[in-house]
Structure 1
Amino acid sequence: MLAKPDGGRLREGPQWAYEYKLDGYRVAMRIAADGTTVLTSRNGLDLTVEFAELTGVLTAALRGRAAVLDGEVVVYNETGQIDFGLLQQRRGRFQKHRTAKRTDPFEDVPIRFLAFDLLQLDDQLLLDQPYEQRRHQLAELPMPDPFRITVVPSYTTDDLTADRLTPQRLLDRVAAEGHEGLVAKRLDSPYLPGKRPDFWCKHPLVQTREVIVCGWRPGQSGFTGTVGGLLLGAHDPDTGELIYIGDVGTGFTRQDRDHLRDRLQPLERSGHPFASPPPREDLVRARWVDPVLVGEVRFRQFTRGDEGRLRHTAWRGLRADRTPSEVTAPRPGRPGPPPAPEPIKIGSRVTVNAGGRTLALSNLDKPLYPDGTTKSEVIAYYSRIAPVLLPHLADRPVTFVRFPNGVHGQKFFQKNTDASAPGWLPTVPLRGGGSRRSTDANEIVHYPLLHELAALVWAANLAALELHVPQWTVTDGVRDLPNRLVFDLDPGPGTTIVDCCRVAERLHDVLVADGLIPVAATSGSKGMQIYAGVEVTSAQAPSVYAKAAAVAFEREAPQQVTTNMAKSRREGRVFIDWSQNSPAKTTISPYSLRGRDEPTVATPVTWDEVRGCRRAEELVFTVDEVLERTSELGDLLAPVLQNRAPLPATSSSGSRSLTRSWPPRR
């Protein structure tokens, strides 16, 4: 039985119960009297082998009774949120293992079956019984291993009243916890397999849609050699014809793009598969495929008119549990799906606990990036990255770059902590913004200090996507000497981060020869930074050393690098910005988001990655990839904190190690 969209109006009244809308694979669990368990998807795909760890869990508890449960298979991330992306990654790994005839389990990606309905118990079919009775019998089933199989909570009006909640406040809580939305179910509803009646109504916080992959465009620039975007279709609900409904070009990881390329190339055909040709402008560089793969996209709008199109789309992944025949388009000439509802009105608040502190958050489902990434997802990222990010922010005055209306809206820099900041947030007053060169040397700026999880959540709630910090810290309100050195490598027109990597390789050798331990990080934009922990006796020492090194680089390879800040002088060169070491300057903090078209992150990388980089997209990382990297690699920037070495003396010729030939031979 399927849930019907509620048109943006959450159903309310004593006849309704509410369940969390889940973000996983819909699965029926069929348990025979002898304990044999079969798992099938909505379209009849047998998933028993793929989710083998769910079989047998309820056998002993059922004591010889047969049962059929309806529910969702999900994966939880480290913060306890259901993560569809992790489930997709697990499925990709399963397919590779199956191809390689491997049988080892995925113990590092545990799955969970969340049951929300009981369709049969022993030899009694329960389809005609009301939802309320089916749920009561489901709740009475013993759950011997709730970490693998458990029952989804159901909230009646009485349950909400007892907790001093309303359906709308429950929805606010769902949004704050990062779930997809709610499903309202009538207490008296029967179970109608394959039907989508008014008995079940889904209220999504994020709009998603199943689509048929009908073609693709090869990537350009940094995505050359892989998939740049997909061309999407669906069946007309009246005629059954395949029609074009738009495209999607964001939301892909590099692995997604390469995997899709490999899946699509064998399916190529000479012409498009649609009943009518797509618009001419959408045919440019299109490569068509047989319409056999189903995917899912997130979107913000479906345009009205005879040629409805999905707008502001972002890719979510392939759906092997769906068939193309199931995918239908909105009816031509009629309004498409309504915009995602705004459950949190301007000025309203949701109260959450972050690291033991109570915070009021607002507008959590407001999109901040074109791909639909919302404020709640930004908060979730900063919450999860906090353990590795906070040590690099500790005691460093933070400058925010805020994007209250998203990355395409107006942005502004904020140094001063305003009156709305929580009383527990530490700040540091610095005269002239911390610099003697300030335009107003007597101005006192109260910078925030982000020392704990709650401070990061508070900043993210301000839509402070970017966090910029200096190379020095403060102690008892007084500025310390710099404790890290940074080279900011900015690719000029005609160059990319690949060229920055070649400069970084030489910088690595120079810094190591001078007794330092360099670490590389992408800027999250086009360039990269090279850091090293240092001990100095003057505030200007890092700038003096960095400038001498940069000038020596420019003298040795004037066609590859420049130290001239004028953009007209950067054509075909990498700009080495040594001035980031000035006490007055700040640099994007590693692990900070960037306010770009996609939610990319300033990401520490290994030197093997730097040396091996041959394509710009190899060093582009989004939030999900960074979280995955840190779980596998830890904090690659830790050596900057753990190893501080004195800077060597410099001369007019630069570092003592800059006498070797450059560029490096490869």
Structure 2
Amino acid sequence: MAKTAAAHVTAGDREVRVSSPDRVVYEATDRTPALTKLQVCEHFVTVGEAMIRAVGDRPTAMERWPDGWREGMRLATGPQDRNADGFYQKRLPKGAPDYVETVQVRFPSGRTADELCPTEPADLVWAAQMGAITFHPWPVRRLDVDRPDELRLDLDPQPGTTFADARRVAAVARDLLDELGLRGFAKTSGNRGIHIYVRIRPEHSFEEVRHAAIGFGRELERRDDGVTTAWWKEERGSRIFLDFNQNNRDRTIASAWSLRARPGAPVSTPMTWERLAEVDDPRDFNLTTVADYLSDGDPWAEMDDQAYDLAPLLELWETLPGGELNFPPDYPKMPGEPPRVQPSKKVAEHWDADGNRIAD
């Protein structure tokens, strides 16, 4: 069978070549027809301007599925996982067009990488041509990659909870932000969760922004017993977990307008608060529907109008009880961090007062 000729799409002032344009990236579902690589690239043309407002000038990892995504496919868990179908590309691959820019970031391990730094829609379309369907930007911009300029509140439904639970908690979170003099911008995660972003002044470390998220989460727990900040899954119960560790260095969330590796090509979709309150099923916002949705205007168009002081959230961190919480397991042990052992497996006499394991 003859190979399908490459197609070309126009993104801004550039023409981007798309090889294998009829390759199926998403199989048909009861909501969407089969969707091709060309349609994925055209999606990023359509959302390109709005998406650059959200991810522009940010170090961005690409979640690539070179052969498309199918139910049962697996995303690599690390560089040694060579049998996975998809993977995170943290270093810009060789052969990128000259117009695609990078920015260097430093990981908790001390290693560095030159990551994609989108500046125009063509960058996103080129990445989609390379199999990227989801973009994972850092909460920093290239001028200062060590000082976050956005707080990310990740409302993650745990087993036994639903999108409706996340939507209810998001409304409580909005009220709390309003009380603190902060404006939050919400989006669907592309699955069952909801993400809330707050633009902040780039004056704090990753650790301080993480503490702000913990303080906010603890006040949210006080107001709604369906919320938890418990790091260990066995302690979360059927509640919405506010994942404070998403504010760590090298922790990223699927960007606004990204596709997700799930049936029906769902899109992580920005919402006004009023629109979010009306959503029953986030799968309604997918590759086939977001173009019409966005034609009514970008719900995040005003996000950069004001950057807020973190002081009210850091005050919650300082005043509410609970202290430090666990970091992810790939992080070095951090000052004040509790023991990294499941509570159900912890034997008190094996640990000293500082949370260090006592040798046998």
What TM-score, normalized by structure 2, do the two folds share?
0.77
Equivalences for 1:227-238 in 2 at 5 Å?
A: none
User: For residues 568 and 497 of structure 1, what CA distance do their matches in structure 2 show?
Assistant: 21
User: For residues 504 and 653 of structure 1, what CA distance do their matches in structure 2 show?
Assistant: 18
Identity of aligned residues (%): 30
Partner of 2:26: 369
How much is the aligned-residue C-alpha RMSD, in angstroms? 2.4
CA gap 1:367/1:647 in 2 versus in 1, 3 angstroms: same
1:547 aligns with 2:204: no
Equivalences for 1:300-379 in 2 at 5 Å?
A: 343-344=3-4, 349-350=6-7, 353-371=10-28, 372-379=34-41
Deviation at residue 454 of structure 1 after TM alignment: 1.8
Whether the aligned pair in 2 keeps the contact of 1:564 and 1:570 (CA below 8 Å) is yes
Whether the aligned pair in 2 keeps the contact of 1:517 and 1:639 (CA below 8 Å) is no
Deviation at residue 463 of structure 1 after TM alignment: 1.3
- SS of corresponding position for 1:466: strand
User: For residues 86 and 51 of structure 2, what CA distance do their matches in structure 1 show?
Assistant: 23
The equivalent position to 2:251 in structure 1, one of 574, 585, 589, is 585
Equivalences for 1:236-635 in 2 at 5 Å?
A: 343-344=3-4, 349-350=6-7, 353-371=10-28, 372-408=34-70, 409=73, 410-430=85-105, 434-435=106-107, 437-438=108-109, 441=110, 443-475=111-143, 478-479=144-145, 481-539=147-205, 540-558=207-225, 560-613=226-279, 615=280, 617=281, 620-632=284-296, 634-635=297-298
User: For residues 513 and 621 of structure 1, what CA distance do their matches in structure 2 show?
Assistant: 30
User: For residues 644 and 473 of structure 1, what CA distance do their matches in structure 2 show?
Assistant: 14
Deviation at residue 380 of structure 1 after TM alignment: 0.8
User: For residues 313 and 14 of structure 2, what CA distance do their matches in structure 1 show?
Assistant: 48
User: For residues 282 and 191 of structure 2, what CA distance do their matches in structure 1 show?
Assistant: 13
Is the strand fraction higher in 1 or 2? 1
Deviation at residue 554 of structure 1 after TM alignment: 2.9
Unaligned ranges ≥5, structure 1: 1-340, 658-666
Deviation at residue 355 of structure 1 after TM alignment: 3.4
Whether the aligned pair in 2 keeps the contact of 1:524 and 1:620 (CA below 8 Å) is no
User: For residues 636 and 342 of structure 1, what CA distance do their matches in structure 2 show?
Assistant: 44
Whether the aligned pair in 1 keeps the contact of 2:91 and 2:114 (CA below 8 Å) is yes
| Larger CA Rg, structure 1 vs 2 | 1
Residues paired across the two proteins, number: 302
User: For residues 244 and 185 of structure 2, what CA distance do their matches in structure 1 show?
Assistant: 16
User: For residues 241 and 2 of structure 2, what CA distance do their matches in structure 1 show?
Assistant: 44
Matched to 1:419, the amino acid is K
Deviation at residue 364 of structure 1 after TM alignment: 0.6
User: For residues 651 and 422 of structure 1, what CA distance do their matches in structure 2 show?
Assistant: 43
1:645 aligns with 2:308: yes
* Deviations, residues 165-190 of structure 1 (Å, cap 9, x unaligned): xxxxxxxxxxxxxxxxxxxxxxxxxx
Deviation at residue 647 of structure 1 after TM alignment: 1.7
Whether the aligned pair in 2 keeps the contact of 1:650 and 1:656 (CA below 8 Å) is no
User: For residues 369 and 619 of structure 1, what CA distance do their matches in structure 2 show?
Assistant: 14
* Deviations, residues 82-140 of structure 1 (Å, cap 9, x unaligned): xxxxxxxxxxxxxxxxxxxxxxxxxxxxxxxxxxxxxxxxxxxxxxxxxxxxxxxxxxx
User: For residues 651 and 447 of structure 1, what CA distance do their matches in structure 2 show?
Assistant: 30
Instruction: Determine which structure has greater relative contact order: mean sequence separation of CA pairs < 8 Å that are 6+ residues apart, divided by chain length.
Output: 2
Matched to 1:545, the amino acid is A
CA gap 1:351/1:499 in 2 versus in 1, 3 angstroms: closer
Matched to 1:644, the amino acid is A
Whether the aligned pair in 2 keeps the contact of 1:474 and 1:480 (CA below 8 Å) is no
Whether the aligned pair in 1 keeps the contact of 2:266 and 2:283 (CA below 8 Å) is no
User: For residues 367 and 652 of structure 1, what CA distance do their matches in structure 2 show?
Assistant: 50
CA gap 1:460/1:510 in 2 versus in 1, 3 angstroms: same
